[in-house]
Amino acid sequence: MGVAPTPPPRPPITTSDAYAHNSHQEIPVAYNDKVVAFLRQPNIMSIVRERCACSSALRDKINAVRVEGAHALARHQNDVQLTCLLRSVLQ
């Protein structure tokens, strides 16, 4: 399996930049927040389909995480299918 290219570094955010834009989105730091941000990508279902077979139950869990965020991810933390999926797509 090939290794995905490393994305270019983001420019540093200064304090004045953060206050200048009310619509500024913070970059997630916690692992669960990063996973939620990853699953909220518009093309996530096509990424998932490329990597593995996705049952309707797994799609429902992904959609729950996309809508509810880290709370849903914590609720499904022991789900084997979701854990395996995340492991395969986040490598």
Q: What is the pTM of this model?
A: 0.66
Q: Is 57 helix (H, G, I), strand (E, B) or coil?
A: helix
Report pLDDT digits (tens) over 20-68.
444 556 777 788 999 999 999 999 988 888 877 788 899 999 999 999 9
Residue of 9 and 76 predicted with greater confidence: 76
pLDDT confidence tier of residue 7, bands split at 50, 70 and 90: low
Rounded to whole angstroms, the maximal C-alpha distance in the chain is 46
Burial class (CB within 10 angstroms; exposed 0-12, middle 13-18, buried 19+) of 39: buried
**pLDDT, position 23:** 52
Does the CA dihedral 34-37-41-44 come out positive or negative?
positive
Structure tokens, 12: 């540093």
Give the whole-angstrom CA distance, residue 12 versus residue 9: 9
- Determine contact, residues 40/66, Cβ cutoff 8 Å: yes
